[in-house]
Structure 1
């Protein structure tokens, strides 16, 4: 945004009034490296680089073996951000607040040289009141220092910088506090629902005031002239007092929220003082009721529902940790399309957009606070489980900040109907990392060593975190992702939880259900094996599972040049792997039929019908399907009919050039078909765009898939080429990704080798106008795409 536009937003006219909350992401300046005095308003920052937030400076660096494998072989460091702004005279007498959705990590914030505060946690939103330090009618300067000198501070890639949105809030001295609206649905049927709304209001003025709080429920995001319910309450609030105002709403014949029908109402809370409205906040409402049952699993709106979830970290490949909403939405739609109905925030709270998207698309969410508590876990430097590890991280700040950070997670998440679970920790009980116990299960290669702390300590810490959750939301259960159930049982930790999450411990389900019949069990992290799925499908008391993971992610890398995990069912570009196709066959309600081939137990596994790596050995053909019978033919000859087991029908046959066709009929009599054909050399480039328009606001994102095609128009998976991307006009190449976690090409490069005949281009617009995307590859005609920026 141009400087005068930002100025206009802040200096709003009397006719339109001041917006309550405004994005505060334009016209920042950035400097990589530490500088003395950079917090002072008079500091000379004219040579600093202009940036638009969100901004992750680690992804702007180069992959290097000199960095840490745990965090993706990318750099960190210390950086400074500054922003100058002027407020409208209308802001006089108001409170001016600054909210950060997340800064990784160890952020310190100043306004006009005055210290506002420090926040070590990199994934928690926080807010500062700027009011008393502002210069009325003059220039104000925000300065933010971000410290991440030790880059081996996480077990995955965290990013570095102000990598989430920042918001400026201007409110009356009497106003609704941040995340102060809390909506609950204690009684829900198809005929009638009761909605309780609580609105937390603070009076920062110097005198007592009588105020009226109202809440109005509308049947659409735009709001109907006729509301479904309106409730009011009045109370006198003393100077400096904060009060939670309760309101009650009976709703006849509610439209219930669910993953299959994520219907959202809107609730608008208004504050009036002396007949004048002084504040207004609108919050989404999903009317739903859920509960877990120790014998029968999870129920939503009175009906059993199997939780079919994935875990995921917060990065998006070569975009790093600063992820536009459109990128998140594409990823969530990919998951939704294969039957995923739940998402676990691994292992930290996510950006606001994620929860809003889950509300809108219909995902159940497990929010999660921490990956470590008082003592740091191993963060590998030279490769996973290789060499030595560091233990630096959030654990150094846990004792001081954990309760406040847990409360902050809950207060934000409780606004979202998608959230059904709060996890206070991931694998805090992991054997030997760092705690030990005589009843630990044995995992990996590590043994107890002298001086390691007793796991019993966890039973002393957990109650304070559980209490922090319950103080702010007693309606949702508390869980942990336990990796060591035998030890967690022995110290009493598992029994403290409303829901016990088990990571990779399907074998323990029957015995623990028998030993603890009142315990609610869920697979909080699971592999994608048939056995792991059977444990959920066949045991009614298991509420569901969360696969590790939905998408590949940066960090938790093996030895160089690998820079990220390949645990996902989708690769880091969002292209489906075989496991995604198989999971669709298991989880989707629509007819599914895909073909895949393999050779050898761990060898060639592809979705093409080109010559295998061992031509003289037979090839296994797999149909990934939920259809009852599949018939396979090769070059018009029948190979046979097979009934799938666990979503897979199988054949074994010699490879032969040509076309492989699988057909099946669904219960409604519709015939479905999948084909694989031998392809020739690449002769053309093709660009697949989800749309041809893009907002020129530096926030929207456009995904374009580039494919190599043969003369028959088929994607060529065995003739990869280096492709170069050029953009003209107000267009920015945000990322060029091929999904290969072993390709150390710079994340900011404009060229990259395709992988299996394709790559993903992500574009962002700098301003309105017209632009052109051009993609070139050696020996092929270039491909062009015009793009309109709105």
Structure 2
């Protein structure tokens, strides 16, 4: 967590974004002269018409689903769709005060997918080709102090690193660091601890940079609470000085799964303080006994998760990161594997806070300079997080059993040891009892699928061959399943959620946990996957069915199994629901997940028998189906300790919702109930959400084949402008065809110069309320003057002056656009349209708009497809329930109200406080 707010500024707001290559082309000539760039990276480039976005930003979530492209990447056509979908340009202008001129200023990008090129004030700076690790650059020398500066970033997402949805754009935070010339290098801070004689010895290694031209003498300090350690040091000019400080905490609180206590650490020089967090804990892997945390044996029940989630794609806010990790914790998981890439720093923060262990995994395996650079950045970013217990070199490499892979893994492991000697190294290997290659190098052997060889005993043979190497299930099966589905539906890509479906090497949730609990030497398992993800799906779906929890965070049946197996309090869950389609009297199976000793069942008050639970097993009752109430009672040591029911629901009668706030975000879960309050398990009503005093981010229902967009776009009202006056200067005459002004105002046509015919000017120039008119523009002369001017006057009521942008549907050529005497745009048009910011420039009453067109490089010019003022309106969004669940995300920093409606049901108001 970055707590050094005085010097490190979040740089996420008000970026300008353009999807595809702008009409002006890609940046070029930037290698001719420093700071000399033509195109969208130029310092003075006019980006007024570009979309304004805040980070994190994943432009893939704004695209329409296309099942003709790569299903492995979520049917969102980024790399495999139209060429423009794979490219995005970002720009940001910002003021740099003159007093910063002696500071050390750098930009930090936590994550950009994927290849990106950076310019500062038109000067080419660097290129980054890693989609999952951050990078930072010193820009101190490139800035103009006391002036407006500009950053430009070209992102190319055409290259895929994985076989799953990876997103596109600046999808993690960006930071601006403004540091004194003598400062602590944030990446150098490494806090680690060991417990000796009951006390915690906490050490801090860090580096002080002196970027100034004078030697200095200073004192550095490291502090936790009231305990402080200091050291004096000297630093010559233009140097870096490494320091080590340690302190002893005689009474401390351990970071643990159940009580994840975090300490704030202060690392300081005179005049500046660097704040970060750490947790004090002792973890180890034992080759015979498994995993221990703070001296206590713990069986790891981990989740493998990709980084995307409902609504946001890969651009998860800090609030969404916490919500997602809290869901894993809620359903019994105590660990998370960042499959198959380094995570966002905020995900590690969320795991620190929730008490989730982390296996942090590299995306690019190897010992090449690029692979080692990415590995180094991953370790440095994660080594201060107490949740991280393992570094993983990679996953299922084709060369994993070769001598080459062994040598590369050895070098990568040495690098990790240099950066962090406190944690073991692993690798996710899907080669059973193979002894050679990467498996002989890693500290902890990672096992992908006990049954990969179709013989579980192979892993016992491996353990016998290497009795001193700990083992952990780095990837294990959970079985496929679609939430709420109990009969396969190939048409929609639905799979029965009965823990019985998957490839031959899949064991299923119940079988895998039984096998792991039999073997004490296995430290635990990471389930594939904890949460559904986009991509790697069937031809009928864009979301995979691998998850124990669906993409919207709703549990499938197997989630309740894992919760039951890893919960101390009595737990009892019955499924499927009791609105069955079988004829009455038909015997049907009813499954029970529980952690009690015995369960008794009754149907409509009539006993249906009881069953004793074996270790780590589920129970299955067969009973005749009759609508009504199924009741289960759980017993421990002969005493009833828990009761639960299934009820047959009547027709939908009311909407019901719960609201969970995480930070500034409200997560609203909606369902439908009958008149008695029983949930209707098959409900699929279309919901409409409207927010007041808040902004709807989107909604998701976990349906793997629902093609409705999850992400909400801003909702606007459009006010078309018509009755334009057209003046063409070449022949000193007015030009138009019979319906020219209608063509310019229509959304499906554009007007080109060769369509023009002579006409007479309009005489009446009176402006009245609600009336639009032609305004003749004065005649121009000279070499670089417009070839055509489009102008109009229009009247606005006070309520319409809050319009935020002017939209021009089609513009070919160069243009200068003036609104009420202010130039709001000057530059190249765009065949995909322009959106020009006009906030604060509109008048109550008469407004004047003038568009001067200059010929393009091809000596053409055109305009049309609608010219409109755009104003925001109330936020609204629509989405269906899927098996009676829908999640709506609302950005609500100041509370607000969410209005939920569905046809035939009373509306519902939810307070977002």
Q: Which TM-score bucket, shorter chain as reference?
A: 0.7 to 0.9
Q: Which runs of 5+ in 1 are unaligned?
A: 1-16, 219-226, 375-397, 430-434, 438-454, 597-605
Residue number in structure 1 paired with 2:58? 56
Distance in 1 of aligned mates of 2:116 and 2:194: 39
- Measured after TM superposition, the shift of residue 241 of structure 1 is 2.3
Residue number in structure 1 paired with 2:404? 457
Does the C-alpha gap of structure 1 residues 668 and 118 become closer, same or farther in structure 2, counting only changes over 3 Å? farther
Does the C-alpha gap of structure 1 residues 623 and 436 become closer, same or farther in structure 2, counting only changes over 3 Å? closer
Distance in 1 of aligned mates of 2:285 and 2:612: 35
| Residue 761 (structure 1) aligned with residue 888 (structure 2) | yes
Mean Cα displacement is larger for which, 340-349 or 642-651? 642-651
Q: 1:775 aligns with which of 900, 904, 910?
A: 900
| Residue 751 (structure 1) aligned with residue 760 (structure 2) | no
Distance in 2 of aligned mates of 1:174 and 1:612: 73
Given that residues 302 and 525 in structure 2 are in contact (C-alpha distance below 8 angstroms), is that contact kept between their aligned partners in structure 1? yes
Given that residues 67 and 73 in structure 1 are in contact (C-alpha distance below 8 angstroms), is that contact kept between their aligned partners in structure 2? yes
Distance in 1 of aligned mates of 2:61 and 2:558: 28
Residue number in structure 2 paired with 1:720? 684
1:17-67 Cα offsets, whole Å, 9 max, x none, are 982111101111000012322111111111001111111000111111233
- Measured after TM superposition, the shift of residue 509 of structure 1 is 2.1
Mean Cα displacement is larger for which, 662-671 or 475-484? 662-671
Residue number in structure 1 paired with 2:67? 65
Given that residues 326 and 702 in structure 1 are in contact (C-alpha distance below 8 angstroms), is that contact kept between their aligned partners in structure 2? no
Does the C-alpha gap of structure 1 residues 301 and 436 become closer, same or farther in structure 2, counting only changes over 3 Å? closer
Q: 1:704 aligns with which of 649, 668, 677?
A: 668
Aligned to 1:407, the other structure's residue is in SS state: helix
Distance in 2 of aligned mates of 1:772 and 1:125: 37
Q: 1:418 aligns with which of 366, 374, 387?
A: 387
- Measured after TM superposition, the shift of residue 211 of structure 1 is 2.4
Q: Matches of residues 18-57 of structure 1 in structure 2 within 5 Å?
A: 19-34=6-21, 35-36=25-26, 37-57=39-59
Distance in 2 of aligned mates of 1:670 and 1:577: 27
Distance in 1 of aligned mates of 2:214 and 2:638: 70
- Measured after TM superposition, the shift of residue 299 of structure 1 is 1.3
Distance in 1 of aligned mates of 2:400 and 2:274: 48
Residue number in structure 2 paired with 1:141? 150
Q: Matches of residues 686-697 of structure 1 in structure 2 within 5 Å?
A: 686-691=656-661
| Residue 549 (structure 1) aligned with residue 529 (structure 2) | yes
- Measured after TM superposition, the shift of residue 178 of structure 1 is 2.8
Given that residues 717 and 755 in structure 1 are in contact (C-alpha distance below 8 angstroms), is that contact kept between their aligned partners in structure 2? no
- Measured after TM superposition, the shift of residue 639 of structure 1 is 0.7
1:538-582 Cα offsets, whole Å, 9 max, x none, are 2111111111111111111221x3001111111111111110001
Aligned to 2:246, the other structure's residue is in SS state: strand
1:63-115 Cα offsets, whole Å, 9 max, x none, are 11233111101132100110100123332311111111100000111111122
Distance in 2 of aligned mates of 1:703 and 1:667: 39
- Measured after TM superposition, the shift of residue 786 of structure 1 is 4.0
- Measured after TM superposition, the shift of residue 149 of structure 1 is 2.6
Mean Cα displacement is larger for which, 261-270 or 202-211? 202-211
Residue number in structure 2 paired with 1:476? 423
Aligned to 1:318, the other structure's residue is in SS state: coil
Given that residues 595 and 623 in structure 1 are in contact (C-alpha distance below 8 angstroms), is that contact kept between their aligned partners in structure 2? yes
| Residue 124 (structure 1) aligned with residue 126 (structure 2) | no
- Measured after TM superposition, the shift of residue 283 of structure 1 is 1.8
1:656-694 Cα offsets, whole Å, 9 max, x none, are 111000011345956211110111111221222125xx8
Q: 2:168 aligns with which of 157, 160, 163?
A: 160
Distance in 2 of aligned mates of 1:623 and 1:657: 19
1:724-747 Cα offsets, whole Å, 9 max, x none, are 222234x22212111101111223
- Measured after TM superposition, the shift of residue 583 of structure 1 is 0.6
Given that residues 188 and 301 in structure 1 are in contact (C-alpha distance below 8 angstroms), is that contact kept between their aligned partners in structure 2? no
Distance in 2 of aligned mates of 1:239 and 1:647: 68
1:506-537 Cα offsets, whole Å, 9 max, x none, are 52321111011111110001113233212321
Residue number in structure 2 paired with 1:642? 611
Mean Cα displacement is larger for which, 640-649 or 627-636? 640-649
Residue number in structure 2 paired with 1:526? 476
| Residue 202 (structure 1) aligned with residue 209 (structure 2) | yes
| Residue 619 (structure 1) aligned with residue 588 (structure 2) | yes
- Measured after TM superposition, the shift of residue 400 of structure 1 is 4.1
- Measured after TM superposition, the shift of residue 760 of structure 1 is 0.8
Residue number in structure 1 paired with 2:553? 574
Does the C-alpha gap of structure 1 residues 284 and 130 become closer, same or farther in structure 2, counting only changes over 3 Å? same
Mean Cα displacement is larger for which, 568-577 or 329-338? 329-338
1:590-629 Cα offsets, whole Å, 9 max, x none, are 2211111xxxxxxxxx3x1012357664211122110111
Given that residues 31 and 48 in structure 1 are in contact (C-alpha distance below 8 angstroms), is that contact kept between their aligned partners in structure 2? yes
Give the aligned length: 688
- Measured after TM superposition, the shift of residue 117 of structure 1 is 1.1
Distance in 2 of aligned mates of 1:104 and 1:459: 29
Aligned to 1:741, the other structure's residue is in SS state: coil
Residue number in structure 1 paired with 2:122? 113
1:357-400 Cα offsets, whole Å, 9 max, x none, are 11112111110111x547xxxxxxxxxxxxxxxxxxxxxxx844
Does the C-alpha gap of structure 1 residues 436 and 573 become closer, same or farther in structure 2, counting only changes over 3 Å? closer
Aligned to 2:682, the other structure's residue is in SS state: coil
Given that residues 205 and 242 in structure 2 are in contact (C-alpha distance below 8 angstroms), is that contact kept between their aligned partners in structure 1? yes
Q: 1:363 aligns with which of 356, 360, 365?
A: 356
1:286-311 Cα offsets, whole Å, 9 max, x none, are 11111111111111122211111111
Residue number in structure 1 paired with 2:848? none
Given that residues 499 and 519 in structure 1 are in contact (C-alpha distance below 8 angstroms), is that contact kept between their aligned partners in structure 2? yes
Aligned to 2:71, the other structure's residue is in SS state: coil
Does the C-alpha gap of structure 1 residues 427 and 616 become closer, same or farther in structure 2, counting only changes over 3 Å? farther
Mean Cα displacement is larger for which, 176-185 or 44-53? 176-185
Residue number in structure 2 paired with 1:10? none
Q: 1:78 aligns with which of 53, 75, 87?
A: 87
Compute the TM-score of the two structures, normalised by the length of structure 2: 0.73
Aligned to 2:217, the other structure's residue is in SS state: strand
Q: Matches of residues 268-279 of structure 1 in structure 2 within 5 Å?
A: 268-272=266-270, 277=271, 279=272
Compute the TM-score of the two structures, normalised by the length of structure 1: 0.84
Computed over aligned residues only, the root mean square deviation of the Cα atoms, in angstroms, reads 2.0
Question: Is the radius of gyration larger for structure 1 or structure 2?
Answer: 2
Q: 2:396 aligns with which of 427, 452, 474?
A: 427
Given that residues 633 and 640 in structure 2 are in contact (C-alpha distance below 8 angstroms), is that contact kept between their aligned partners in structure 1? no
Distance in 1 of aligned mates of 2:418 and 2:567: 38
Does the C-alpha gap of structure 1 residues 612 and 244 become closer, same or farther in structure 2, counting only changes over 3 Å? farther
Distance in 2 of aligned mates of 1:202 and 1:483: 44
Distance in 1 of aligned mates of 2:474 and 2:400: 22
Q: Matches of residues 205-354 of structure 1 in structure 2 within 5 Å?
A: 205-218=212-225, 227=226, 229-272=227-270, 277=271, 279-354=272-347
Does the C-alpha gap of structure 1 residues 280 and 123 become closer, same or farther in structure 2, counting only changes over 3 Å? same
Q: 1:680 aligns with which of 650, 668, 671?
A: 650
- Measured after TM superposition, the shift of residue 485 of structure 1 is 3.7
Residue number in structure 2 paired with 1:655? 625
Residue number in structure 2 paired with 1:442? none
- Measured after TM superposition, the shift of residue 784 of structure 1 is 2.3
Residue number in structure 1 paired with 2:768? none
Residue number in structure 1 paired with 2:467? 517
Q: 1:558 aligns with which of 530, 538, 554?
A: 538
Q: Which runs of 5+ in 2 are unaligned?
A: 27-38, 79-85, 479-507, 713-876
Aligned to 1:565, the other structure's residue is in SS state: coil
1:169-216 Cα offsets, whole Å, 9 max, x none, are 111111111322111113345x31211111222221223222221101
Distance in 2 of aligned mates of 1:666 and 1:90: 71
